[in-house]
């Protein structure tokens, strides 16, 4: 099937992910072309991970910063370790983690061998590897017989794609092939957890479905000759080039997005004299905006807004994670001025941490507070 733009010119070729078409696509990878495909996380755009010119095409089509590395996708630890430069301790941890969490949504960052092109690792000393579980990309890797460099199939900094329609919205994909199959959709809806190995220290660089607790519990059950230390990356330092997803602005929808706090100030703010005027302006402001909620926490305020959507009415964080990017895509198509997401960051849950890591970057940290007595 071919997709055409409004001028009738061919945009891209969409192939059903049959064995024959996956073999054809693996040849295209080796010839230096880009292939787009679904993964269990989000849709990815891939190239030959050992060829700098091919990987550079990912950066060009996505308008991606050269500071932001890509992830090499492999079948398992056996075909990734030859590309790494690990100590015995690091190798032990790498193998243990990959045996437990691969194939799956865990990316492992470790010291790179010399063969990895600099563009893959953003000229740093570390390289990211992941073994996906999606059968399409696993066959693609198998037939290409090289690690496939993959980035999310979107314009850099924008909301990731979790379905074919999202991908087609972003790119005018001349001569680009998309492998697609409704039976192998994105099941998680956000990018993989990223963990960095440095000696016996492990740092969670990006939060995801696999949590810090999952890793801690697993490693605690092993008879290791050392005690791994696991921590979060608290610095959020853009100079750390070892992992994708560390830039301050990321996952952004097409409309301005703000975190919304509705605060009961009590008598601390006396606005009685101006309340009617302020309230009228606020009502007009909210009436052109959309509210994104969770667990119906802000449901009682929904009539104040132009539109309202709940990431998970029942308070299921995995459901909210799966819905987040799709909601961002949907509300971006509505003629509204602004998007607000009600602040539920205070709920203590590791999956909520992964969710809010995306939300905070999507809002670029912008927060708006509204006094309770102006909205009730």
pLDDT tens for each residue of 9-63: 445 688 999 999 999 999 999 999 999 999 999 999 999 999 999 999 999 999 9
Residues 210 and 302: their CA atoms lie apart, in Å, by: 33
Please, what is the average pLDDT of the chain?
Answer: 89
4: pLDDT strictly greater than 90: no
Question: pTM score, two decimals?
Answer: 0.91
Beta bridge partners of 3: 12
Return the structure tokens found at 222. 């092993």
Residues 153 and 181: their CA atoms lie apart, in Å, by: 16
7: pLDDT strictly greater than 70: no
Beta bridge partners of 310: 293
Answer for the pair 98, 76: CB distance below 8 angstroms, yes or no. yes
pLDDT tens for each residue of 168-222: 988 866 667 899 988 888 999 999 999 999 999 999 999 999 999 999 999 999 9
pLDDT at 6: 38
Residues 365 and 347: their CA atoms lie apart, in Å, by: 18
Helix (H, G, I), strand (E, B) or coil at 330: helix
Nearest CA-CA partner of 322 in 186, 135, 169:
186
Beta bridge partners of 252: 158
Q: To which CATH superfamily is domain 2-232 assigned?
A: DHBP synthase (3.90.870.10)
Cα–Cα distances in angstroms (integers) from residue 330 to residues 106, 253, 308, 327, in the given order:
28, 9, 12, 5
pLDDT tens for each residue of 147-165: 999 999 999 999 999 999 9
What is the CATH class of 257-375? alpha beta
In terms of pLDDT, which residue wins out, 285 or 255?
Answer: 255
Return the structure tokens found at 118. 């600099």
pLDDT at 280: 62
Residue 224 C-alpha from the chain's centroid: 32
Helix (H) and strand (E) counts in the chain: 10, 17
Return the structure tokens found at 86. 């690990």
Answer for the pair 182, 136: CB distance below 8 angstroms, yes or no. no
Nearest CA-CA partner of 34 in 183, 115, 156, 140:
140
Per domain, the residue ranges of the chain are 2-232, 257-375
What is the pLDDT averaged over residues 280-287?
72
Q: Please list, in sequence order, all residues whose beta carbon lies within 8 angstroms of the beta carbon of residue 267, skipping any fewer than 6 positions away.
A: none
Answer for the pair 287, 361: CB distance below 8 angstroms, yes or no. no
Angle at 260 between CA 257 and CA 264, to 5 degrees: 165
Helix (H, G, I), strand (E, B) or coil at 278: helix
Sign of the Cα torsion 47, 53, 56, 61 reads negative
Answer for the pair 371, 271: CB distance below 8 angstroms, yes or no. yes
Q: How many CB atoms lie within 10 A of CB 47?
A: 28
pLDDT at 9: 41
pLDDT at 293: 98
pLDDT at 1: 47
Nearest CA-CA partner of 260 in 219, 217, 229, 289:
289
Residue with tokens 């198998």: 142
């Amino acid at each position: 099937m071919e997709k055409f733009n409004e001028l009738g010119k061919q945009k891209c070729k969409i192939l059903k992910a049959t064995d024959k078409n996956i073999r054809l696509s693996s040849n295209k990878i080796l010839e230096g072309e880009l292939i787009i495909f679904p993964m269990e996380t989000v849709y990815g755009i891939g190239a030959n991970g050992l060829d700098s010119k091919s990987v550079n095409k990912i950066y060009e089509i996505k308008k991606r910063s050269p500071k932001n590395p890509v992830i090499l996708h492999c079948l398992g630890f056996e075909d990734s370790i030859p590309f790494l430069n690990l100590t015995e301790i690091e190798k032990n941890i790498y193998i243990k983690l990959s045996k437990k969490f691969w194939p799956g949504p865990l990316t492992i960052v470790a010291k790179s061998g010399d063969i990895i092109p600099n563009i893959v690792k953003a000229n740093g000393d570390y390289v990211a590897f992941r073994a996906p579980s999606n059968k399409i990309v696993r066959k693609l890797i198998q037939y290409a017989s090289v690690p496939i460099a993959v980035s999310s199939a979107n314009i850099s900094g924008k909301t990731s794609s979790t379905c074919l329609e999202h991908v087609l919205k972003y790119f005018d994909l001349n001569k680009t092939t998309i492998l697609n199959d409704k039976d192998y959709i994105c099941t998680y809806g956000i990018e993989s957890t990223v963990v960095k190995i440095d000696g016996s220290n492990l740092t969670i660089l990006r939060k995801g479905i696999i949590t810090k607790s999952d890793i801690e519990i697993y490693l605690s059950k092993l008879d290791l000759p050392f005690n791994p230390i696991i921590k979060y990356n608290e610095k959020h330092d853009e100079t750390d080039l070892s992992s994708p997803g560390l830039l301050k602005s990321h996952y952004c929808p097409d409309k301005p997005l703000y975190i919304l706090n509705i605060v009961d100030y009590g008598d601390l703010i006396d606005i009685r004299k101006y309340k009617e005027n302020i309230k009228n302006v606020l009502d007009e402001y909210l009436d052109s905006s959309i509210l994104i909620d969770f667990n119906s926490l802000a449901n009682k305020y929904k009539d104040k807004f132009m539109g309202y959507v709940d990431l998970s009415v029942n308070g299921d964080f995995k459901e909210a994670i799966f819905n987040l990017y799709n909601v961002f895509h949907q509300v971006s198509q509505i003629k509204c001025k602004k998007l607000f997401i009600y602040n539920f960051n205070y709920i203590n849950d590791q999956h909520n941490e992964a969710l809010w890591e995306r939300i905070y970057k999507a809002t670029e940290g912008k927060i708006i507070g509204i006094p309770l007595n102006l909205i009730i």
